[in-house]
Amino acid sequence: MSLFGPQLLAFTETSSSELLLKAQKASHVGQNVSLPLQPTKSKLAGGDESWHLFVQLVAQDPLPASPVAQVEHPRISNSLAEVVLKLERFMQLGDSIAQLHPYAFIAWRTATAVYTILKGQLDQDGRLDALGSLMKEAYSFVEDIKSFPEKIPALEEIMRKLLVQTSECAMFIRECSGHGFAKRLVSTAWVDRRLDDFTDGFTSLKRALEFRVAVQTAVVSFRTDKTVKHIVNIQNLMKLHPADMDDPSRPECLPNTRMDIIGVIYKWATTPTGPTVFWLHGFPGAGKSTIATSVANLFRQQRRLGAFTFFTRGMEARNDPASLIRTIAYQLGEFDPRICDAISRVIEETPSIKQAPLHWQFQRLLVDPLRSLEDLQYEGPVLVVIDALDECGRTGARSDLLTALARESMLLPPTLRILITSRAEKDIHNAVSTYPHIYSRELDLSSETNERDVKAYIHHRMAAVRLQNKYLDLPFDWPGGSRVDALTLRASGLFVWAATACRYVENGQDPEERLAQLLRSEVQADSESALDSIYITALESAGKWDDSAFAADFREILGIVIVAENPLTPGTIDVLNADFITGRKKRPCMHTIQHLGCVLQWAADKPIRVFHPSFADFITERRRCGSDAWHIDKSHHHLRLARQCIGHLGVALQKNFCQLTLSRSFQVQNIPDVTAYPCIHWIDHLCQVQCSEGSLSQEIDGFLRKHFLHWVEAMSAIGRPRQTIALLDKLRDWVDANCIHDDSLRSFVRDADRFCQAYVHVFEQHPLLVYQSALPFTPTSSVIYRAFNEPILPQVDGFRDQWSPLLTEFSKPGENVTSVTCSTDGRYIASSSRRSISVWDSTSYELVTSLLPGAGNTTNVIKFSPDSVHIASGHTDGSVRLWDALSGKEIIPTMEGHSEDVYALDFSEDGTRLVSAGKDKKIVTWDARTGKMHREPLSGHTKTVLCLCFAQNGTRLASGSRDGSIRIWDTETSKAVFPPILRHDGGVNALIYTPDGRRLISASDDKTICVWDADGGALLQSPGMVDVPFILHGHNSVIYSLSISPSGTLLASASKDTTVRLWDIRVGKELPTLVRQHRLPVRHIAFTADGRSIVTSSSNDPVLRVWDTESTGSMGITRRHKGLVGSVSFSSDGKRLVSGGKDRRVRVWDAETGEMVAELSLEREVYRVGFSPDGSRILALDDTNAVFAWRTDTHEPLMANPDDAPRQDVYSGPLSLVKSQWIDNTRTREVLLMFPNMSRIIAKASWRDKFAVGTANGGVVIVSFPGLESEL
């Protein structure tokens, strides 16, 4: 029955199967079947009478010549034509369907496009024709509804679903016609399932419209296959650490505005051919973000919005370029369980994916998973929206992201469409303009449609102003068409002008007066001038600028709002704006902010933000804002805010300010932003400026010397302990550049940086370990220890008195290292062993991934590619392989060109060529992109080739051999540039060019390092000397490896003599204070990308060691024995400690001072030591169970028998070692201390308030707890 025709009296619901069953139970053919009817509510008369419908089911034989349904439907193209016509009439209803217009417009465009494709084609599928007829019938309401527009609100949701359903169905029909996203026709089973879904969907919607019955039906999308079962592992996706993109307050376009550009974007996104990326750019305030939000919501309604990300300047969590790709991947995983599963597998294969380079993240998190899902190819478009890309970081910081977006997006399947909006910044334009798969479109501010839309926006907002001021008795059509036209003219096409002007009128006491002020302003010649004009008008009326107090308050408060890394609440701004010097009370910021409602968003308990970033641009550029009264000098206010942060922290921070109790577990604390913000950002603000004021360095020095440990504690409490390293690195660079005459501050910051690097693994376990463990184990000569050590803290003796040059060591147990290489981007360290290749994070030293060449195929050598993406490896079977550095997968077929071991590899500077050499004496050049041999191998060496090195320009290649020669090859002609260089008296093990390409350096079995002229091949003269060859002497044995710092000033050499030596290559001198001593011969060495560290490995050793290139202290823990310490024991009075080790020595120590009192010798390794119960004798047991004794006072040897053997009881008192790392008070169950990373603890002993350990590398450490003695 028609909705607008005869009234519905009653209805019934039954399935066809139930109806047939009733007919079968009938006694004879033609008998009536009774069905109960339910009267509609409007027809209920209050009686109990029953309503029934009587039907007859008559069986008929099918027509013999027609196997299809008897009802003949018009061709689907004809049905679509009628649907298009109905939609056109529907859109003519104007304001009555304002909220539905975008959906009607999209449905009309989609149906029109598909009709154009199908017109003139023969329709093959009768079921498609039937679907088309059903879709056409669903629009039968359009003709009647013109006469009854008041019924639209009640049916709006059903109509919206029908319009969205129409768009989906039209795209489905296009896919079935062979003109869709799929390159081949989709399967019959898939089409049948979708036909059923769409038929049910349109039937339900049609019935809902006819009978005005609300239905709980979802819009049918042919995108998702409901029959596929997936386990959605959202928790796995959370490991990507996506940015929070929840912001329901983002405004949309007004109904029936911006439909021209929205239609263009929709057509692009739903057209199978053409560009896959749409870059919408325009002037600030043109409405790009509003368009992006509207498009995103349209696609969300169609269940086709894969991800919606947006950047926000001044909000740390939403302006980080590194988070974009991970956030898109996370949202795509939430959107589709199949994508979720594919991305989850990537995360499982590569747990460190969030630390990978952005281009690699794009490939692994987006391209690979999406291309692996064939179903997506015929399910229509999925849209990803990236809004306000220009607000993403600073110009230089986002270059990697722009490159990844532009270059890698061409590899995505065509169904994934990316919409990017931004200003036309130069770096963004340069990044995207050269790629054919990216369509660029500028928002035309001068077009008639844009002017019409701005006018509609102003009219809408002014109508709201009139309603808000009902007591002013404004006319019904206020402010009138002519004044709306005048405002539109002044807006110059900018929606942000219109929005600011409307807020300006809205916030005034008298809207007429405010409106008149706007209309008195001149029409500007360009958009920027128009924007400046409205901001000047708004500011001029905000306060009394001739009042110096108001102007000063404005600059102080707006300065904080503009330069803050995150939006701050009024309360936080008040605290950070306080006068920490005189204590003078200042006016609350809301006293000033309340006058700025047309340019700032604020509430008493909400962060204060600018309405639009264009206002921040205006107010920070003196040329534009035109007045010193409201100009914000960003550099000045960064410095001021840094000082204010320091001032507040100086008041707020104190020891244990969170009132915690030390334990082995810790929960991150939620401390107020007023303290958290300064902790996180004071260094960031400081590093934004250049300032050499002596008073500033004094402020920083005074703060650090009082509160450095408190700051580290606070950073640990809020869960950011490792960020202290990066921040102190920045502060160190800033201090070195700006405080060159303040040696005290520079020394402190350098020491503080080293402190955090050394002990972050300690205080990240618990904030209080800053005091209880990190500080006590800090070298006693360090600035930090001298500044902060207190008698009440644990006191440690025997650890170290200077910073060790050894920063850290790490390993895969049981896998001796065969080669080491560092990535040029500074992110990774790679090492090889007999069984695997390991990639390590260069900051945390955690294992990132392992590459497995295969059992029995030892890796001899590895090398990172120049772009840090790939690792080449050479093997004992003569093969050369190229790996993806992070996924661990081999990316091209194994390169086979050698008959024996490969020992040398190098990449050309551009990464396109790879050379290999080894035992077969051949040098092979490979195409690193295909794995094919570039040309015939080079030959000439008579023994194994041990090293290779490309010159920087790639035109020359140097090779060194066991035959003692160095050969220089022309890479284009494959010929030797000049005769072999025969200077070394042994095999040439290492070659390296200096970064400037002017010198070639070689190292040999003959213990020397030679420096050659790279162009002529002659041995250079030693700097500053005449007739003295440039040969470096210092090693006592074979030199295995060389590495040069990125600056070209430092050369590092590794030798069989167990040392690494550093040389100043500029003067040709060794730096003797920087010798890095190892226990075993050092085989491999590599500088890290920043030149501050070197990585080494030794022969027959699984350990990788990272060394500081500046420290001059001794290595590691103080060695008190020459080998493992197997036993320690206190005397009964606790004044003495005895230790014994594999060096056959028994040593006695003063437990108070740590000084050695006596050294006693055995002929065998010491197994156990101790004192007699009365303390008069020192006892020892060797590894044959022989017992020895000495007088405690004179150390004279005494007779001993087996009964004198020292006891195994190592504890005398409440202290005990837990989990080989923690010291607990067993009586009170308190945690007292955590040992930092050091050599393995072998022996332990305690006495009352003292605890001693012996370590595997010969250390004896005594820890005392001064406050504990009084409790015993």
Looking at residue 1048, its pLDDT comes to 92
Instruction: Specify the pLDDT at position 190.
Output: 75
Q: What is the DSSP string of 19-55?
A: HHHHHHHSSSTT--EEEEEEE-GGG--S----EEEEE
Q: What is the arithmetic mean of pLDDT over 591-613?
A: 88
Partners of residue 420 on adjacent β-strands: 279, 386
Q: Residue 153 has what pLDDT?
A: 77
The stretch 977-1005 carries a mean pLDDT of 94
pLDDT of amino acid 386: 96
Contact 770, 763 (CB under 8 A): yes
Two tokens, residue 401: 């992201």
Q: Which residue is it, tokens 């005594």? A: 1262
Q: 939 phi and psi, to 5 degrees?
A: -140, 155
Contact present, 1036 and 1007 (Cβ < 8 Å): yes
Residue 194 pLDDT grade (very low, low, confident, very high; cuts 50, 70, 90)? confident
Summarize the confidence of residues 240-259 as an average pLDDT.
86
Top CATH class of 814-914 equals: mainly beta
Residue 391 bridge partners (DSSP): none
pLDDT in tens, 854-878: 766 789 999 999 999 899 999 999 9
Strand arrangement, sheet containing 913-918: 902-907, 913-918, 923-927
Report the Cα 130 to chain-centroid distance in Å. Answer: 51
Type of residue found at 993: Y
At 698 the pLDDT is 94
1091: left (phi over 0), alpha (psi -120 to 50) or beta: left
**Angstrom distance (rounded) from CA 1030 to CA 1023:** 7
Rounded distance, CA 132 to CA 83, Å? 9
- For 626, left (φ over 0), alpha (ψ -120 to 50), or beta? left
Task: Give the pLDDT score at 9.
Answer: 58
Q: pLDDT tens digits, residue range 409-468?
A: 999 999 999 999 999 999 999 999 889 999 999 999 989 999 999 999 999 999 999 999
Q: Does the pLDDT of residue 226 top 50, yes or no?
A: no
Over residues 397-407, the mean pLDDT reads: 88
Residue 472 neighbours by CB distance under 10 Å: 12
* Identity of residue 242: P
Helix (H) or strand (E) holding 534: helix 527-540
**Residue range 1170-1182: average pLDDT?**
93
Residue 765 pLDDT greater than 50, yes or no? yes
Question: SS3 of 812, please?
Answer: coil
Fold of the domain built from segment(s) 234-442: Rossmann fold (3.40.50)
Helix (H) or strand (E) holding 1141: strand 1136-1141
In one-letter notation, the amino acid at residue 636 is H
Angle at Cα 689 formed by Cα 687 and Cα 695, nearest 5°? 95
Categorize the per-residue pLDDT at 232 as very low, low, confident or very high, splitting at 50, 70 and 90.
very low
Task: Decide: 85 and 141 in contact? Cβ < 8 Å.
Answer: no
- 837-841 and 828-832 as β-strands: parallel, antiparallel, unpaired? antiparallel
CA angle at residue 463 from 460 to 464, to 5 degrees? 90
Q: What is the DSSP string of 489-510?
A: HHHTT-HHHHHHHHHHHHTSS-
Encode 287-326: b = buried (16+ Cβ within 10 Å), e = exposed. bbbbbbbbbbbbbebbbbbbbbbbbbbbbbebbbbbbbbb
Distance separating alpha carbons of residues 1047 and 1043, to the nearest angstrom: 12
CB atoms near residue 268 (< 10 Å): 18
Q: Give the residues across from 419 on adjacent strands.
A: 278, 385
1187 and 1195 in contact (C-beta within 8 Å)? no
Do the beta carbons of residue 223 and residue 304 sit within 8 Å? yes
φ, ψ of residue 362 to 5 degrees: the values are: -60, -45
Kind plus residue range of the DSSP H or E element containing 193: helix 188-211
d(CA 305, CA 275): 18
Concatenate the DSSP letters of all residues of 323-382 into one string: GHHHHHHHHHHHH-HHHHHHHHHHHHH-TTGGGS-HHHHIIIIIIHHHHT-GGGGGS--E
The confidence band for 521, taking pLDDT boundaries of 50, 70 and 90, is: confident
Helix (H) or strand (E) holding 481: helix 481-491
Could you tell me what percent of the chain has a pLDDT over 70? 89
Instruction: Give φ, ψ of 1065 to 5 degrees.
Output: -70, -20
Of 28-42, 1182-1196, 1243-1257, the one with minimum mean pLDDT is 28-42
Burial 707-727 (b: 16+ CB within 10 A, else e): bbbbbbbbbbbbebbbbbbeb
The answer, yes or no, to whether residue 1139 has pLDDT greater than 60, is: yes
What pLDDT is attached to residue 1114?
55
- pLDDT attached to residue 33: 62
The predicted pLDDT at position 249 comes to 78
**Do the Cβ atoms of 600 and 610 come closer than 8 Å?**
yes
d(CA 159, CA 164): 9
| 773 DSSP 8-state letter | I
Predicted confidence (pLDDT) per residue in 809-838, tens digit: 788 887 889 999 999 988 899 999 888 899
pLDDT of res. 36? 66
pLDDT at residue number 5:
41
- Those residues with Cβ within 8 angstroms of residue 477's Cβ, 6 or more apart along the chain or in another chain: none
**What is the Cα 722 distance to its own chain's centre?**
15
pLDDT, one tens digit per residue, over 367-383 is: 999 999 887 877 889 99
Residue ranges of the domains in the chain?
Answer: 10-55, 76-211, 234-442, 448-540, 548-746, 814-914, 1125-1271
The confidence score (pLDDT) of residue 414 equals: 92
Instruction: Give the HSE-up count for residue 843: Cα atoms under 13 Å, Cβ half-sphere.
Output: 14
Per this entry, what is the length of the chain? 1272
pLDDT at 925: 96
Number of C-beta neighbours around residue 826 at 10 A: 16
Give the span between the Cα atoms of 956 and 1051, in whole angstroms: 22
In 746-798, the DSSP E strands lie at 795-797
Q: Return the pLDDT at 63.
A: 36
Is 1052 within 8 Å of 1085 (Cβ atoms)?
yes
Q: What is the pLDDT of residues 795-817, one digit of tens each?
A: 998 877 788 888 877 888 878 89
Q: How far is CA 1146 from CA 88, 1185, 1198, in A?
A: 100, 15, 15
What is the average per-residue pLDDT within 1165-1193? 94
Mean model confidence pLDDT for the chain:
86
Q: How far is CA 499 from CA 220, 313, 458, 524, 806, in A?
A: 38, 19, 8, 17, 60
* pTM given for the model: 0.78
Mean pLDDT of 481-494: 92
β-sheet bridge partners, residue 307? 384
By the 8 A CB rule, do 444 and 396 touch?
no
Cβ–Cβ under 8 Å, residues 952 and 909: yes
β-strand partners of 1041: 1054
Q: In this predicted model, which residue has the larger pLDDT, 99 or 721?
A: 721
C-alpha span between 415 and 936 (Å, rounded): 45
Which of residues 200 and 684 earns the better pLDDT score? 684
Least confident interval from 27-41, 516-530, 1039-1053? 27-41
pLDDT at 327 over 90: yes
**CATH 1.10.3720.10 is right for the domain spanning 1125-1271:** no
Task: Using alpha carbons, select from 631, 754, 623, 730 the residue that is nearest to residue 680.
Answer: 730
Cα–Cα dist 220/135, whole Å: 13
Region 567-577: mean pLDDT is 94
The pLDDT of residue 701 is: 96
